[in-house]
Structure 1
Amino acid sequence: MKFIVIPRKVLKRLVDILGALVGLIILSPVMLVVAVVVYVSMGPPVLFKQERAGLNGRPFMLYKFRTMLDLRDEHGNLLPDEKRLTRVGRFLRNWSLDELPQFWNVLKGDMSLVGPRPLPTRYLPRYNEFQMRRHEVKPGITGWTQVKGRNSLSWDEKFKLDVWYVDHWSILLDLYIIVLTIWKVLKHEGISADGHVTMPEFKGDEA
């Protein structure tokens, strides 16, 4: 009797599609409520869209529920995150509800359920060769870095964990990370860096 061996990258994609579909179907009532709350509390748009770096650094449009107001100074520059993050936005971030629209990114193939978190494309020229390796796999809704400390970690620590995942990923590791992510979300761990409501911008090794 011959067994069909499915390449692990194909299997990972199948798990992504199934997981994203189940997530969108089961959590659609929650997403509808979140969308209404965001619209009522902050007004349109409900979704935050930003170009992020995906597999091999290719850009894609990431979707999240909006958590911040578009407040700017007299020169048109955005105010710091702590002045724009709303009470509703803080709640959404505490429970990772702002990330739910990324199931659509997974379904489209831009992201995976598990992988290094997608960062803004403006960071690409700032990476060294080692840090750039995080783009050898698709970015994820959650990842090894998220379950090991998330935004409480330094950029150096996060990049080392990202590259460790690139070198060691497997379906079993992905399932372990997904289970651990649920536990971390319930405990509200690692949501922000010390002294910041989110994570300070990555300026590169020489910054």
Structure 2
Amino acid sequence: MQRSERQRQLRRYDAVKRGMDVVVSAVGLVVTAPVQLVVAAVVRVALGSPVLFRQQRPGKDGVIFELVKFRTMLHPDTDHQTDAERLMPVGRILRSTSLDELPTLWNVLRGDMSLVGPRPLLVEYLPLYSAEQARRHEVRPGVTGLAQASGRNSLGWEDKFALDVQYVDRRGLGLDLHILRRTLAAVLSRRGISGEGQATMSVFLGSHGDGPP
């Protein structure tokens, strides 16, 4: 298949996918509203205010947006400084079950994100990507992606980025459904929640290495 024809197919799928994202995220917000109210109350009691975690993240084409999730950690200005110290038992449960991600459906509905795509990472990582790794920003970031369906935080950065770029090139309905099924299985089994020796995952230091926070 010629590259130009493949690009036209991808653009058509992206338009269809956006429509599916709107419908699924809108329904998801309504269906999960009672659960989100309970989670918000639990976070408020266990961690205090604010209930929501907000952070700037790069989206499609590197455009910055505000990611919204339930808060799972104590504030960094407490005596607990590392992620391992700040991540509370309630936060571990929310992360392992992915309940902390429910507010992110608002980002999907708004068009900042998609249900499936490369996970949005930190803004400060933008200048550290190789040209190939930066291709992950050719599509909207996702609530879940091929890397998450293939091991979540147990994967190294190089493997994650290779899977992200693979998704950019191979994206389609069949692959998206496969990723959603694998993600559900990973959440139910609670596999790959943390990187080895990490509370969450290591810091990305560039394409030649990664290390602990």
Bin for the TM-score computed over the shorter chain:
over 0.9
Q: Distance in 1 between matches of 2:157 and 2:12?
A: 32
User: Is there any run of 5+ residues in structure 2 with no aligned partner, and where?
Assistant: 1-8
Report the more deviating stretch, 133-142 or 179-188. Answer: 179-188
1:180 is displaced (CA, Å) by 1.7
Matched AA of 1:29: P
Residue-pair matches, total: 200
Q: 2:88 aligns with which of 86, 93, 117?
A: 86
Match status 1:128 vs 2:133: no
Q: Distance in 1 between matches of 2:120 and 2:76?
A: 24
With the length of structure 2 as denominator, give the TM-score of the two structures: 0.90
Match status 1:32 vs 2:34: no
1:171 is displaced (CA, Å) by 1.5
Q: 1:67 aligns with which of 63, 72, 82?
A: 72
Matched AA of 1:179: R
Deviations 1:154-207 (A, max 9, x none): 000000000000000002211221122111100001100000010111111245
Deviating 4+ runs (over 2 angstroms): 71-74
User: Is there any run of 5+ residues in structure 1 with no aligned partner, and where?
Assistant: none
In the TM superposition, 1:33-182 aligns within 5 A as: 33-72=38-77, 79-182=81-184
Q: Distance in 2 between matches of 1:108 and 1:58?
A: 14
Report the more deviating stretch, 42-51 or 19-28. Answer: 19-28
Q: Distance in 1 between matches of 2:60 and 2:22?
A: 17
Sequence identity (%): 52
Match status 1:189 vs 2:194: no
Match status 1:19 vs 2:53: no
Matched AA of 1:83: E
Give the conservation status (yes or no) of the 8 Å contact 2:150–2:182: no
Secondary structure in structure 2 of the residue aligned to 1:64: strand
Q: Distance in 2 between matches of 1:60 and 1:71?
A: 22
User: Residues 102, 73 of structure 1: CA spacing in aligned structure 2 closer, same or farther, 3 A cutoff?
Assistant: closer
Q: Distance in 2 between matches of 1:139 and 1:105?
A: 10
Give the conservation status (yes or no) of the 8 Å contact 2:72–2:91: yes
Report the more deviating stretch, 6-15 or 106-115. Answer: 6-15
Report the more deviating stretch, 152-161 or 6-15. Answer: 6-15
Deviations 1:11-67 (A, max 9, x none): 100110011011111111111100000001111000000000100111000001000
With the length of structure 1 as denominator, give the TM-score of the two structures: 0.93
Give the conservation status (yes or no) of the 8 Å contact 2:119–2:143: yes
1:7 is displaced (CA, Å) by 2.3
